[in-house]
Chain A
Amino acid sequence: MTNATKESLHTTRGRPQLFTSYSREMAIFNTKVKRNWAIVGILALVVLPFFLQRDMVALITTVLIFAIGGIGLNLLTGYAGQISLGQAFFMGVGAYTAATLGGEAKGDVIGLGLDMVIWLPLAGLVPALVALVLAPLAARVRGLYLAILTLGLVFIGEHIFKEAKPITGGAGVGRAPAEPVFLGFDLFSNQTILGYRIDRFTIFYIACLVIFLLLAFAARNLVRSRFVRSFSAVRDRDVAAEVMGVSLLKTKTLAFTISSFYAGISGALLSIVIGRISPETWNIFLSIDFLAVVFIGGLATITGSIMGAIFVVMLPKLVNTLTVFIPGAGGVGDGSLLNVFELQSIIFGLLIILFLILEPRGLYGLWLRLRNYFKAWPFSY
């Protein structure tokens, strides 16, 4: 069928719902409007750091890294319906893989000083491999039992991290993270490019942005594949999915593996932002932060994970600013009823409860509502 003639193009242009082929209907950006907005958004993200202060650049870098981990967890929890508290463990594995391969050796601590080209993929692949080994265990249970099982994983992991001193530096000591040297180009040092001096935070931000975009598009592409459709089938009714020929074991294993790959990358990058990593970093609270990203952002949406990451990372900054206005709240050790961190935990907890009850699709759900309000314009239905 020839659709390429000028005439026929003319008769489909400006008709976003007139699909003349399945590939057009299934496209990531199936309308021009979506594509154009994505381009505008990416351009805005590229120029953003040049208008921000250093600490804000570091903060939005963290947002990107959280978004990567959030997308990974959302694939597992949002799409496949497997609630996992093990995110921190897999991030830890990723971070230590990266540090061991790409960090410097110091004393007893191993460091091979390899290039980022090698350590970055492996920071994802090693946790994915670990998940592949552990998945058959996790695939046997579901719901709350899975949450408990993965919770156990975090504690076992933390213990191993504390004891494996040649790799992690041990409890309370920690070690330096991987060096982000990409093909000999240090992504975490000030550089002069085309006569402009660009500080290291901005350079690392751009590097993270590229990685984030690659992984986010990969995820967006993945969720329209038959694999992630089988994730959703398992989530909505595992028995029904199995009857239809979707293998539970395979599907859950795949979900765990992909999710852990994202977690590993996220952990490796996060360790660089933190600067020095100790085994205590990868504890249950980090897992909860990521669950917050997923729940607040919205279950089963890639865009939502990004929104959730923005929210979770930016909130402490906001709470800090607002502390002044909340009676009984204050800084650490100044004798006030609540300190900033306690207040933050309370707000997170409240928000997770509220979102679960009121808007399970999270911030993305709010956005959808707003969008539908204007989509239905001038009618209400």
Chain B
Amino acid sequence: MTAVIESLTDTWTLVGTVRRRAMASPDGVAMRAKRLGIWRGITWADYADHVDLVGHALLSLGIEAGDRVAIHSENRPEWLFADLGTNAVRGITVGLYPTNPATEVAYLLADSGARILIAEDQEQIDKALLVESQCPTLEHIIYLDPRGVATIDNPKLMGWEDFLDRGRAHRETDPRALEHLAHEAKPTDIVTLVYTSGTTGPPKGAMLSNANVEFASGVIVDGGGLYDPPPNPGDVILSYLPLCHVAERAVTTWTNAVSGAVVHFAESIDTVTLNIREVQPTLFFAVPRIWEKLKAAVEVRMAGASRIKKLNYVVWMKVGQGIADSMLAHGGRHTLWSRIRYSVGYVFLYRSMRERLGLRRVRAAASAAAPISPEVLYFFFTMGVVINELYGMTENSAVATSNRAGRIKLGTVGEAHPGVEVVLAEGTGEILTRHPGTFAGYWGKPEATAEAIDADGWLHTGDVGEWVGDTHLKIVDRIKDIIITAGGKNISPSEIENALKASPFIREALVIGDQRAYLTALVGIEEDTVGQWARAKRIPYTTYRDLSEREEVLKLVQGIIAKVNEATARVENIRKFRMLTKALDHEDGELTATQKIKRSALTTAFAPLIDDMYSGADRLAGGDQSDVIVVTPVEA
């Protein structure tokens, strides 16, 4: 190992931060990854060394400042090595979602003009090779996992170990190369392109600079950026959401580097529920979908529990609601009386439940990236897991507002961080933010950039918000998604959709009604929970579609909709619904990589369902407020 490069320049970089940690505590554990059953530690010195090796290897392959390196992999230590290694040579990292299908891979590689792709395994290599001809700039493909790759004959391929060996050789010949580059680094250097999820059009690559990341990292360590109270080296993080998303990058890479909290990499997305129980993180960030799934898992398992356990659950959840109410009244803090109740309930339910969910040691939790139903947050409050909902987006380095410990208001995304200006635009109510974390622009799309950032430096978020009590911001919806009914009423569909999705049985909901007389919904069931429910009720079914079109299931959905309708004003009531005929999927272009629905794609794909409701034909499986429509299969 060579000596760690000390960054003597004034420019703050993530690489420099990691190097400083490596000097201060070389043997401290920076991250752990589970391999062959054991959580293997990687020290700060290992981390910094690998970053340097990747940097040297990239130099040997001719990468220069401003060149793009794409990473197409699940979360693992190599992701971080490659990311910061690229930054160490002043290159730009482009993250791809592991679920991106080949067509999107082609778009992202071509749009970013990546010269090198770091692909995880054969699956990702296959995608890249399939669209090789569409990516003229791509020169090398580095693969992390050699399984199944040996038979592929392509001059562009190179194994990770060979890649690192190149780095070692380059370091021998030019040991000071990275040091020079570190001195040349500038605050305006772009470090990464984060592609937006693209619910409306093709994804756009948001450019984040050193200065952006510095500001965002500062907000993270000063508290409130992600977690409040702020993270420290004794904290434990589980990394499992896609790292190419700005939120997970902040949670994993940035938080780890700036606070020293130890990152644990889940084995794969399938083992997250097991891994989280092993790791028992102290800081936990999840998107609404994960929180919803956790809640559904608890409810389904309780439904199958023995009587005594059920009683125990019902009693203590009831008590928990009292605790949650009291905490909400005090901004998320315990009072003496609520703490006493919690301590007793801890013995009977909360401790074991949190342990089983992997949330036992969580001291700060957060939800962001999409709107979440207050009902879901409330559920976790009852077992003492206080989730801070926060708000930010790729374009402002995930930094805007958050709920702070002791000042939580349920249903809002909290208060602006120090140094962050948040205003609502006159008339439209659009949220505008301004701070040093505002992105440098969209890659190769100056017009789009101009639309997003105005002359005064305000970022137009595209979200409509309103103030709650002057301090807390509440997100109404995306501007483009707001429904204006034929009667002229403005309605936020996502609020109703989230209320529906709070049920463990509903996975997807799409509220329709723009320019229409009344609201309707397309509903997709959660196959696992509804399947379990159906088996318990001895309802036979074959496929997803068969299950969702069963009379009993239609009635179940009707009941859930009726309950949501009760809580909303008459104009916001869902009058009719139809069942989605398939589970929505990223591959089919119905969901984005972050599992957000693409409204326009859905309304086109399921146009017959929508027509069926508004034309009054009522022939397809679904229902209205009083009846359900059961379709009897036509004998072929």
Contact = CB atoms under 8 A, between A and B. Distances in A.
Interface stretch (A17-25, A55-63, A110-118, A282-290): A17-25
A165 B375 CA distance: 86
A11 interface: yes
A379 interface: yes
B40 A377 contact: no
Contact of B41 (A2, A17, A377, A380): A2
A218 B260 CA distance: 43
Contact of B313 (A3, A20, A378): A378
Contacts of A17: 277-278
A7 interface: yes
Nearest to B355: A377
B489 interface: no
Interface string B290-333: 00000000000110111001001100000000000000000000
A7 B234 contact: yes
Interface in A1-46: 1-5, 7-8, 10-11, 14-15, 17-22, 25
A18 B279 contact: yes
Interface in A350-381: 377-381
Interface in B206-237: 233-236
Contact of B29 (A8, A21, A25, A378): A8
Contact of A380 (B38, B306, B348, B353): B306
B510 interface: no
Contacts of B37: 19, 22, 25
Nearest to B301: A379
B353 A8 contact: no
A186 B312 CA distance: 57
B568 interface: no
Nearest to B261: A11
Q: Is the interface of A mostly helix, strand, loop or mixed?
A: loop
B123 interface: no
A20 B349 CA distance: 29
Nearest to B302: A379
Contact of B262 (A8, A21, A380): A8
Contacts of B305: 378-380
Contacts of B234: 7, 10-11
Contacts of B41: 1-3, 8, 20
Contact of B28 (A5, A18, A378): A5
A379 B27 contact: no
A11 B236 contact: yes
Contacts of B309: 377-380
B454 to A, nearest CB: 45
B28 A8 contact: yes
A381 B300 CA distance: 11
Contacts of B349: 378
A381 B38 CA distance: 25
B304 A20 contact: no
B356 interface: yes
Contacts, number: 83
B460 interface: no
B38 A5 contact: no
Contacts of A380: 301, 304-306, 309
B43 A20 contact: no
B268 interface: no
A314 to B, nearest CB: 31
Contact of B39 (A5, A7, A14, A19): A19
A25 B278 CA distance: 12
Contact of B280 (A4, A18, A19): A18
Contacts of B38: 19-22, 25
Nearest to A13: B234
B528 to A, nearest CB: 14
B377 to A, nearest CB: 21
Contacts of A381: 301, 304
B115 interface: no
The listed residue with most B CB atoms (<10 A of its CB), out of A14, A18, A22, is: A18
A1 B278 contact: no
A8 B261 CA distance: 10
Contact of A7 (B28, B304, B312): B28
Nearest to B39: A20
A3 B28 CA distance: 8
B257 to A, nearest CB: 15
B349 to A, nearest CB: 5
B43 A2 contact: yes
Nearest to A14: B361
B200 interface: no
A7 B25 contact: yes
Contacts of B306: 380
Given A18-B279, A25-B38, A7 B233 contact: yes
Interface string B226-261: 000000011110000000000000000000000010
A18 B356 CA distance: 14
B32 interface: yes
A20 B40 contact: yes
A159 B48 CA distance: 77
A107 B240 CA distance: 81
Contacts of A20: 32, 38-41
A283 B632 CA distance: 76
The listed residue with most B CB atoms (<10 A of its CB), out of A14, A20, A25, is: A20
Contacts of B273: none
B335 interface: no
Nearest to B264: A18
Contact of B279 (A4, A5, A10, A15): A15
A250 to B, nearest CB: 29
Given A15-B279, A17-B277, A18-B279, A1 B25 contact: no
Contacts of B103: none
B490 interface: no
The listed residue with most B CB atoms (<10 A of its CB), out of A4, A25, A377, is: A377
A163 to B, nearest CB: 57
A18 B41 CA distance: 11
A381 B349 CA distance: 15
B188 interface: no
A18 B39 contact: yes
B42 to A, nearest CB: 8
Interface string B1-34: 0000000000000000000000001011100100
Contacts of A378: 302, 305, 309, 312-313, 348-349, 352-353, 356
A15 B280 contact: yes
Interface string A158-199: 000000000000000000000000000000000000000000
8 contacts: A3-B41, A5-B25, A11-B29, A378-B356, A379-B305, A379-B309, A380-B301, A380-B306
Interface of B: 25, 27-29, 32, 37-41, 43, 233-236, 260, 262, 277-280, 301-302, 304-306, 309, 312-313, 348-349, 352-353, 356, 361
